[in-house]
């Protein structure tokens, strides 16, 4: 008997799905790996981006499906209603529904549990897939999606995959561009410019250890997941704000703080997060706060969800992106000296530091500080 991932792949193929896109979720990492291997696949930087790309593919006659987790549906609602629904284009959305079964991340609970009501309020039809026997519902609903040009959401319970053995490989061996349906022979970089930069020397944890002495008396906004946990373990201070949700918002939060205080602000961001919301770099360049440093630790992977590759491993240089958005003061760093020299100048204008890192997470405990207490500590520090 096939495992649930293989069964779902078979249903998708039989239903004619031929264009997929996704953002990572740890609960369905094996499924996403198999999707990538089985279909034309686009790795997304933001959920709403998937709505637009899928709409274009549907206009060209494709049958698209998007795979995201429940926290991302909030980024998609407007595009779904004003683009996909308005133009009556087909789209199947598979959502890994967090917060309903053995959830360990409290920030996932509100959106996960509220998902059915949110979809109902938006007028988007959905099906709850809580066990493997419910897969027959998927097959039936997919026919309507593509025959009647409908949007339909499938809420996938994590319980479905619980007993399925993971097939996840090391992401560092899986960094490759998607195969275009118009280029069946494969592509060698395509039109993508591969940026050859310095070779990374340290993991994110080791980089945080190096820069920690230069974070004293600064407001530090730390990206969610392992970066926040590692920072809490290495150097907790009352001025550190640890993100627990809202991926992609680290630079935005730091920008808001820097525009509201004279305190020096350092954002510890990541490549996956920045790719999800790069427009904040343009906003920062426009407003030009004199007290903001964005430290982008780039390990070319979504470190907190299984080390799936990001596009910085193939064709995106974040320092060039920052300069393109208008940030003049940038630096690339991979050695200890380069990291220290870059951090010595924090607080002397708007700065962007592109720190190259080796993929990998340090096994550290969860953050023991309550999120409301964390907020209070940061607010008190900024006030003083």
Question: What's the pLDDT tens digit per position in 313-340?
Answer: 889 999 999 999 999 999 999 999 999 9
Cα–Cα distance for residue pair 203/96, rounded to 1 Å:
29
Residue 143 — pLDDT band, cuts 50, 70, 90? very high
Q: What local confidence, expressed as pLDDT, does residue 169 receive?
A: 44
CB atoms within 10 A of CB 366: 11
> Which tokens hold the place of 141?
């609903």
Region(s) of the chain under CATH 3.40.50.970: 4-168, 204-383
> Which tokens hold the place of 65?
């499906």
Assigned architecture for domain 204-383 = 3-Layer(aba) Sandwich (3.40)
Q: What local confidence, expressed as pLDDT, does residue 177 receive?
A: 46
Q: Is residue 14 predicted with pLDDT exceeding 90?
A: yes
**Helix ranges, 288-370 (H):** 318-324, 336-343
Average pLDDT, the chain: 89
List the end-to-end C-alpha distance of the chain, in Å, as a whole number. 63
Q: What local confidence, expressed as pLDDT, does residue 112 receive?
A: 87
Q: Is residue 171 predicted with pLDDT exceeding 50?
A: no
Q: What local confidence, expressed as pLDDT, does residue 6 receive?
A: 94
Residue 166 — pLDDT band, cuts 50, 70, 90? very low
**Helix ranges, 76-225 (H):** 77-79, 109-122, 135-147, 204-211
User: What is the pTM assigned to this prediction?
Assistant: 0.78
User: What single string gives the DSSP state of each residue in 198-239?
Assistant: PPP-SBHHHHHHHHGGGGTTSEEEE-TTHHHHHHHHHH--TT
pLDDT tens digit sequence for 99-141 = 888 888 888 888 889 999 999 999 999 999 999 999 999 999 9
Residue carrying structure tokens 């064709």: 315
Half-sphere exposure of 375 (CA within 13 A, CB side): 5
Q: What local confidence, expressed as pLDDT, does residue 186 receive?
A: 39
Classify the phi-psi angles of 38: left when phi > 0, otherwise alpha if psi is within -120 to 50, otherwise beta: alpha
Reported as type and span, the H/E element at residue 333 is strand 330-333
Domain 4-168: which CATH class?
Answer: alpha beta
Residue 191 — pLDDT band, cuts 50, 70, 90? low
Q: What local confidence, expressed as pLDDT, does residue 60 receive?
A: 85
Q: Is residue 84 predicted with pLDDT exceeding 70?
A: yes
Q: Is residue 95 predicted with pLDDT exceeding 50?
A: yes
How far is C-alpha 373 from the geometric centre of its chain's CA atoms? Answer: 26
Of the candidate ranges 35-39, 243-247, 339-343, the one whose mean pLDDT is the lowest: 243-247
Q: What mean pLDDT comes out for the span 196-208?
A: 88
> What percent of the chain has pLDDT above 90?
70
Q: What mean pLDDT comes out for the span 252-277?
A: 94
Instruction: Give the SS3 label for residue 293.
Output: strand
Residue 176 — pLDDT band, cuts 50, 70, 90? very low
Better-predicted residue by pLDDT, 99 or 181:
99
């Amino acid at each position: 008997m096939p495992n649930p991932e293989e069964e779902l792949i078979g249903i998708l193929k039989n239903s004619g799905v031929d264009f997929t896109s996704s953002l990572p979720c740890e609960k369905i990492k094996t499924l996403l790996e198999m999707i990538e291997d089985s279909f034309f696949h686009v790795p997304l930087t933001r959920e709403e981006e998937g709505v637009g790309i899928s709409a274009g593919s549907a206009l060209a006659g494709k049958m698209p499906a998007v795979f995201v987790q429940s926290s991302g549906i909030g980024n998609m609602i407007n595009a779904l209603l004003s683009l996909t629904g308005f133009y009556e284009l087909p789209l199947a959305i598979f959502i890994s529904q967090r917060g309903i079964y053995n959830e360990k991340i409290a920030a996932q609970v509100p959106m996960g549990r509220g998902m059915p009501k949110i979809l109902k309020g938006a007028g988007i039809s959905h099906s709850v897939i809580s066990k493997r026997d419910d897969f027959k519902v998927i097959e039936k609903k997919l026919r309507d999606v593509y025959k009647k040009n409908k949007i339909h959401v499938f809420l996938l319970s994590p319980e479905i995959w619980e007993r399925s053995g993971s097939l996840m490989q090391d992401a560092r061996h899986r960094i490759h561009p998607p195969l275009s349906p118009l280029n069946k022979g494969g592509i060698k970089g395509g039109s993508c410019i591969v940026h050859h930069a310095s070779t990374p020397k340290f993991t994110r944890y080791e980089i945080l250890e190096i820069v920690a002495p230069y974070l004293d008396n600064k407001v530090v906004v730390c990206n969610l997941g392992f970066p926040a946990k590692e920072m809490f373990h290495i150097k907790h201070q009352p001025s550190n704000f640890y993100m627990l949700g809202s991926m992609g918002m680290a630079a935005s939060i730091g920008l808001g703080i820097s525009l509201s205080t004279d305190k020096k602000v350092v954002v510890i961001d990541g490549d996956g997060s920045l790719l999800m919301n790069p427009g904040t770099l343009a906003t920062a360049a426009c407003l030009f706060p004199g007290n903001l440093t964005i430290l982008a630790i780039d390990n070319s992977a979504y470190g907190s969800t299984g080390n799936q590759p990001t596009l910085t491993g193939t064709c995106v240089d974040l320092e060039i992106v920052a300069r393109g958005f208008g940030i003049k003061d940038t630096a690339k760093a991979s050695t200890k000296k380069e990291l220290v020299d870059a951090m010595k100048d924090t607080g002397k204008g708007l700065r962007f530091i592109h720190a190259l890192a080796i993929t990998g997470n340090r096994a550290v405990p969860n953050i023991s500080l309550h999120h409301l207490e964390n907020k209070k500590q940061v607010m008190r520090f900024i006030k003083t």
